[in-house]
Structure 1
Amino acid sequence: MPIAGNLTKELTLNKSVKYALLGGDDYELCFTIPPHLESQFLDELSSESNLDFSCVGEIKGSDEVLTFGDKAYDLPNHMFEHFK
């Protein structure tokens, strides 16, 4: 998930990652594709839609670990709730 540079200037990297993933009002579309199709798929999708796409992560095995760079993050078990 892209994180705005201004956010990391004002907050710690840990808080920036949490806000980007759990802050609500996020309008990024995330999806998975097989690694061997990544380059072809993203190139074709970008040219057909005139939008930018980027790979933001990789699903590996069954471990439930979120990493950003080489650092692991523990996230709370709740998500953003609009009416709370």
Structure 2
Amino acid sequence: MMEFLKKATEWVLDQEEKAAQNCRIDLKDVQKQINLILEKREKLQKECEENLKELDHILDRLEAIKAKEEACQRS
């Protein structure tokens, strides 16, 4: 499904690019699209950063658990 959406998006962008080359595109519409994508990008970046922080926290805890078990095995 994602591949279909990627191809559809590329097709739409190709059509808009052709229209722009022929001076048949509304700059306000393009700017709206740019703003929308920038907002979505910012939201996704924030979500990814939060997810990475959570994964780092889990990794830290697992490393601490591992270190405790290794200490037990050395005793």
- Give TM class, smaller chain: under 0.3
For normalisation by structure 1, the TM-score amounts to: 0.19
Greater C-alpha Rg: 2
Higher strand fraction: Structure 1 or Structure 2?
A: 1
For normalisation by structure 2, the TM-score amounts to: 0.21
